[in-house]
Amino acid sequence: MTLKFFGILKLVKWKKDYLIYALLYGATSLIIPLATQYLVNNLIVAGLWQSTLTFIIIITIGLIFSQVLRYGMVILKEYIEREVFIIVNEK
């Protein structure tokens, strides 16, 4: 008996970690566009280099955090694939 795609997804045990990682990664994916907008506006209007350097350091830390979340999403994706594989093979 073959299961439809959405039927399989209903059988997967969803955890809160999946949603948390997805929301955090989505929020951190906005770092680059917002940082570019801030830097352009800050340099054109005020020309404050000291605050700009501080902001670049904060953005770098945010991008590193984003990459850690991306790695976590890959791991969670592998767990979901394993669960789907087990469900499909049991039926």
Stated pTM of the model: 0.60
What would the pLDDT profile of 29-49 be if each residue is shown by its tens digit? 888 888 778 777 777 676 666
- What are the structure tokens assigned to 40, written together? 């352009």
The 3-state DSSP class for residue 3 equals: coil
10 Å CB burial of residue 69 (0-12, 13-18, 19+) is buried
User: Measured between alpha carbons, how far is 82 from 91 in angstroms, rounded to an integer?
Assistant: 15
CA neighbor of 69 nearest in space, from 24, 35, 31 = 24
pLDDT at 25 over 50: yes
Of the listed ranges 46-50, 71-75, 82-86, the one predicted with least confidence:
46-50
Q: What is the pLDDT of residue 3?
A: 65
The average confidence (pLDDT) of the chain is 78
Q: What would you report as the CA-atom Rg of the chain, rounded to the nearest whole angstrom?
A: 20
